[in-house]
Amino acid sequence: MSAEREIPAEDSIKVVCRFRPLNDSEEKAGSKFVVKFPNNVEENCISIAGKVYLFDKVFKPNASQEKVYNEAAKSIVTDVLAGYNGTIFAYGQTSSGKTHTMEGVIGDSVKQGIIPRIVNDIFNHIYAMEVNLEFHIKVSYYEIYMDKIRDLLDVSKVNLSVHEDKNRVPYVKGATERFVSSPEDVFEVIEEGKSNRHIAVTNMNEHSSRSHSVFLINVKQENLENQKKLSGKLYLVDLAGSEKVSKTGAEGTVLDEAKNINKSLSALGNVISALADGNKTHIPYRDSKLTRILQESLGGNARTTIVICCSPASFNESETKSTLDFGRRAKTVKNVVCVNEELTAEEWKRRYEKKKKK
């Protein structure tokens, strides 16, 4: 590995924006398509109510699942296999297309989303690699519901806690880890976890996720010739939708859920704002479980892509604007990334000698 790769490097959070088409209820309500995609520019610009927003990429409503994956997420596979941490998360109001983008229809080559495509790609890369590399892949799947972490692979674990490892990196203690050796293994785990998720019917969405889901892929590899060990963690996060309670018809438990969702999303917004302001003295990661888990992804050691999902309808104009504002702030946040390498004694010695000579 070259010396350059060993030095932590700044890496801005990548923000891509995806608009879905008008849906049936918006069309029935006579909602207008209020977003403009300026001509003669790269696909990285949108305007709404006269205000222009620039992102790393903008996907129009007709963009295919494959296009979104190739241009927003595919590169993170090689990053994770090279020993970097990665994060992709979808952010937006209820019914804006987050779950469609992250998950889609698993097993359908056209409709599948980012997660199944990443899983297939990881294994395809590994199958094509040199035989002297040994891989161990573990996955975990949990949700944050009412600010409690529930293990989706062991429903008896309903309130897991966030701890820090020896490098002060947060992790969820006690989360079930499953070893997997094929895409099929992973999809089985996902189906098992999905059946345990908190879902409710709201006015905005027939199957609205009432929790943030976190799917973690942990890739460890060892080069059997030189004993070099690399590890990369990939967080794939489908956030619950931000929403105006008045629009969703939420009552009782669903209302409490909505308040909790909005509270954790505002904690996420506060972390992004603090990082964007360059106010590094205090970043309020501890204000929610969500921001604790995503601590490395926001300003830390990870290559992070945020997919902001938006409705183009006049009915949702204010929510779309606030999603776009969130994305614009997030785009200014810089992470500091480096390869996660476990050094052999020999390598430690070599580097120590090299430093002494300097």
92 carries a ligand binding annotation: yes
Q: Provide the domain limits for residue 75.
A: 3-357
The count of structural domains within the chain is 1
Q: Are 237 and 142 in contact (CB under 8 A)?
A: no
pLDDT in tens, the chain (358 residues): 333 346 789 999 999 999 999 999 899 999 999 999 987 677 999 999 999 999 999 999 999 999 999 999 999 999 999 999 999 999 999 899 999 999 999 999 999 999 999 999 999 999 999 889 999 999 999 999 888 999 999 999 999 999 999 989 999 999 999 999 999 999 999 999 998 886 645 555 544 567 899 999 999 999 999 889 999 999 999 999 876 655 555 566 667 777 788 789 999 999 999 999 986 689 999 999 999 999 999 999 999 999 999 999 999 999 999 999 999 999 999 999 999 998 777 777 777 777 777 6
99 carries a ligand binding annotation: yes
What sign does the CA torsion over 72, 77, 82, 87 have? positive
Rounded to 5 degrees, what angle do the CA atoms 343, 5, 273 make? 110
103: domain CATH number? 3.40.850.10
97 carries a ligand binding annotation: yes
96 carries a ligand binding annotation: yes
Radius of gyration of the chain (CA): 21
253 carries a ligand binding annotation: no
93 carries a ligand binding annotation: yes
Residue 151, helix vs strand vs coil:
strand
Question: What is the Cα–Cα distance from 329 to 327, expressed in whole angstroms?
Answer: 5
Alpha helices in 172-251 (DSSP H): 183-194, 245-248
Question: What is the Cα–Cα distance from 228 to 303, expressed in whole angstroms?
Answer: 22
Reported pTM: 0.91
Q: Could you tell me the CA-to-CA distances from 90 to 48, 106, 193, 197, 218 in Å, in that order?
A: 21, 17, 18, 17, 20
